[in-house]
A = this chain, B = another copy of it.
Amino acid sequence: MDFSFSDRPNDERIKATLATAASSSDSELTTLFLNVQWTYREMQKAYDRVLDQHHLSESKFILLMFLERADRHRLQPSELAEKLGATRATVSKLLTGMERSGFIQKGHDSVDKRVVLIELTASGQAVLTNFLPSNFQAVDTIFAHFSKPDQQALTGLLEKIKQGTQQLNQENEGN
């Protein structure tokens, strides 16, 4: 596998976008914005590779975590969807794949016939247990160069981005 960096696409975007920037402030903020996107996407790709080595995707991993902590290792698809923050349709697809992989089993609720009960299998348990150390290791590596103050600084800056995002949503309310 070739992970030698090609930052070229990012540079191309910056070049193209800066040519249309009206002010130097626009230029700086746009560069920063593209930098945030690029950094996140490279980070996520690297993290996804770790997950893939364990035959997992991020969402599937999170679903296994929820099941692991649930009473009797069982939850309804709708409960999983709400915890995950995805639609029921998406979760339905993910669960189909996880059943095929043998990570979960589907069962029926005795009371409400509409309900499906998703149960963690031993094999799903094992995959999760195996992945967890790699997960923390990956996060450690990503933030290897961070000092304590760096962590706090980033937390503060993320908070400001969240506020800006909320404003952007308000500006565009009513479609």
Contacts and interface: CB of A to CB of B under 8 A. Distances in A.
How many A residues are at the interface, by size bracket? 35 or more
A169 to B, nearest CB: 4
Interface in A102-141: 132, 136-141
B32 A151 contact: yes
A22 interface: yes
A21 B62 CA distance: 14
Instruction: Give 5 closest A-B pairs by Cβ, nearest first.
Output: A9-B85, A145-B160, A142-B164, A3-B169, A16-B65
20 contacts: A1-B174, A5-B166, A9-B83, A13-B65, A16-B65, A16-B66, A17-B65, A26-B139, A26-B140, A32-B143, A35-B158, A40-B40, A43-B161, A43-B164, A49-B175, A53-B175, A142-B161, A144-B164, A145-B164, A146-B160
